[in-house]
Amino acid sequence: MKVLTENRLRSDLPGTKYPPEYLVPPGTIITPAARSFLSDRGIRLSFGGTGEVQDPQDRVSENMAEEGSFFLIGPDLKVDRKPEHYTHLSGNKLVPKNHPRIELRGKLDSLQADIILAQVRIADLGREELVNDLQEILDLVKEILKGEVTGSEIIVETLMGFSKDQLREVSHHPEKYFDTGHFFPSREMGEVMALLNVVRTRIREAELVACNVFRNADSGMTREDILTLLNRLSSAIYIMMCKFKSNKY
């Protein structure tokens, strides 16, 4: 029976750019250090080339319980019933509800709720173009959440007609594109501006949690696709705020 160790992975996967998947023969024992190496780098584990992709935690060591429907990550234990203070990370793998990745999912869920609330209120004010731009933001947040859960890469070419580089440029230099420079929202700017600003701050909160989740002491940041998109989402909302302030909607 083959054993996959962290040293073997470091030999097979040098550098900082990692593949999305690592293939091993069926029946391979995965050491805890190897599981951590793969998980920290967002690498999926595929067994036997059958096309069935499994997470590194799907294989348990011989000292773990042989029975049970759920696998508790951390104590490395299989259990028949899901503890109330645990929740699903993926498949039958459970983590405590205060796990950093679960916190990130909660932030993304709250962000979606705030966007929808903003859409409802802004639609009541008859600003459909703003509602449509927020829908594009909402759709991307859903893709980010899906990508975090499944481990799949998120590829986005444009958002609201801007490339990622353009989003950065316009949000950093609004005076070049709108009739306003940088500004702080205030009550006098009205409900629409207040709602957009709430969405912007919620995106920033999710980004900060994501930075903590995807920081790795050995390889730096993982899931740069998610980190970059969250950063550009806040830029997109700020552009909407500048555009609204300049009466461009």
How does pLDDT run across 203-238, given as a tens digit for each residue?
Answer: 999 999 999 999 876 667 889 999 999 999 999 999
Provide CB contacts within 8 A for 239, sequence distance 6+. Answer: 160, 162, 167, 170, 171, 174
- Residue 220, H or E segment: strand 220-221
Predicted pLDDT of residue 63 = 36
pLDDT at 17: 75
Distance CA 68, CA 77 (A): 9
Q: What pLDDT does residue 189 have?
A: 97
Judge whether residue 111 has pLDDT over 90.
yes
- Which domains, from first to last, does the chain contain? 3-95 (no CATH), 100-245 (1.20.1200.10)
Provide the pLDDT for residue 57. 42
Residue 144 pLDDT class (50, 70, 90 cuts): very high
pLDDT at 47 over 90: no
Q: What does the alpha-carbon distance between residue 56 and residue 47 come to, in Å, rounded to a whole number?
A: 10
221 within 8 A of 212, measured Cβ to Cβ: no
Mean pLDDT of the 141-156 span: 92
- What is the per-residue pLDDT for 194? 98
pLDDT tens figures, 22-45: 888 876 777 767 777 888 788 888
